[in-house]
Amino acid sequence: MKLSQFQFQISLKNDIAHEPTGKWRDESRMMVLHKDSGEIEHKIFKDIVDYFGKGDTFVLNDTKVFPARLLGKKEKTGADIEVFLLRELNREQRLWDVIVEPARKIRIGNKLYFGDDSLVAEVIDNTTSRGRTLRFLYDGAYDDFKRTLFSLGEVPIPKWVRERTVPEDKVNFQTIYAANEGAVSAPAAGLHFSRELFNMMILKDINKAFITEHMGIGYFRKVDVEDLSKHKMDSERLIVPEEAARIINNTKRNGHKVLAVGVTVMRGLETYVTTNDEVQAYDGWTNKFIFPPYRFAIPDAIVSNFHLPGSTMLMAVAAFGGYEKVKNAYETALKEGYKFGPYGDALLII
């Protein structure tokens, strides 16, 4: 398929959710798309349990967002710079893979200062046009360094959601089950889950299984090729524990449904599949790019937020629900005032 087939008009001011859409996590709106018939229903998120029953399994991504955005200054000139932490490369040497803005002013050998000059970093390599490798110059213990680094960081809310963060984002931009630190963005579909909703799942004997996929910047890079088969996804760390694989495979064997909560889970479940269409335990990296047409082996249903035009997340959702039906669902969402983005409303495809 072509990139142009996933473009549509959206208002960043009116169609994007700039804060959580419901008073409570599970009270955002939820569109339900029946992929066989194309029928659309309008619900609220906590109604999701009405579509599943005993023996079904919800698979969730338990990654934890860290404060990835640092504001600092360049040595000598004092120019303002922004550093977006992507991932730690070497614990002992304090090396990090980052993106810098404005990139044209940041060169190898430059020193960057953060806070009240309490933390200094040196640029030691270029990785991409905006990417750099930083070595943080910190002589103390690793735990002290990490505490200092994260104390200076901000929650990495996308700039198209809100220009600056607010204190509430520390809670709102994290799932209630976040456990394993490493993501630069929250798995948005998971933000809708509440303790009360988990209790409702228990009452209906719906299982939970947790995998970890640390969302990286790759989800937000623009696709710059018209032929989608030529797009390369950035790699992300993926862990599918033995216990999760067992629960998921037993669910499938017993004829029950597996719900992928978010595109990261969808990608994670489809990364390492056996010839018998079973998921295997895995600890490594994934750069899997899902777009139509694609045959899914594991999930029977997915729930995801409404994504931006031209995004790889939208392409993955369209692969599952069918291009024309998902296109119609998105057109309906815009007409009906559904909100897009990580703080927005949800789309359940069954």
3-class SS of residue 299: coil
Q: What's the confidence (pLDDT) of residue 219? A: 63
Tokens of 18: 């700039």
Distance between CA atoms of residues 73 and 61, nearest Å: 35
Closest listed residue to residue 209, CA positions, set 42, 102, 59, 93: 59
- Beta strands 207-213 and 57-61 are parallel
pLDDT tens sequence across 119-133: 999 999 988 778 899
What is the DSSP-derived secondary structure letter of residue 234? Answer: P
Percent of the chain scoring above 70 in pLDDT: 99
Q: Mean pLDDT, to the nearest integer, of 96-119? A: 89
Tokens of 94: 């304090």
Looking up tokens 């009240």, which residue turns up? 116
Q: Which amino acid is at 296?
A: F
Does position 217 have pLDDT exceeding 90, yes or no?
Answer: no
Tokens of 254: 């017993």
Lowest mean pLDDT among 61-65, 172-176, 220-224: 220-224
Q: What's the confidence (pLDDT) of residue 187? A: 94
- Average pLDDT, rounded, for the chain: 94
Lowest mean pLDDT among 76-85, 152-161, 211-220: 211-220
Does position 220 have pLDDT exceeding 70, yes or no?
Answer: no
Q: Residue 85 — φ and ψ, nearest 5°?
A: -70, 130
Contacts of residue 51, Cβ cutoff 8 Å, sequence gap at least 6: 32, 301, 348, 350
Q: Residue 190 — φ and ψ, nearest 5°?
A: -70, -20
Does position 8 have pLDDT exceeding 90, yes or no?
Answer: yes
pLDDT tens sequence across 291-342: 999 999 999 999 999 999 999 999 999 999 999 999 999 999 999 999 999 9
Distance between CA atoms of residues 258 and 300, nearest Å: 5
Q: Mean pLDDT, to the nearest integer, of 86-90? A: 91
Q: Mean pLDDT, to the nearest integer, of 277-287? A: 95
Residue 78 pLDDT class (50, 70, 90 cuts): confident
Q: What's the confidence (pLDDT) of residue 237? A: 93
Look at phi and psi of residue 71 and say left if phi exceeds 0, alpha if psi is from -120 to 50, else beta. beta
pLDDT tens sequence across 229-271: 999 888 899 999 999 999 999 999 999 999 999 999 999 999 9
Distance between CA atoms of residues 20 and 162, nearest Å: 12
Entry pTM = 0.92
Dihedral of alpha carbons 218, 222, 224, 225, sign: positive
> Which residues sit opposite 87 in a β-bridge?
97
Q: Which residue has the higher pLDDT, 143 or 217?
A: 143
Residue 42 near residue 31 (C-beta atoms within 8 A): yes
Closest listed residue to residue 119, CA positions, set 135, 136, 97, 132: 136
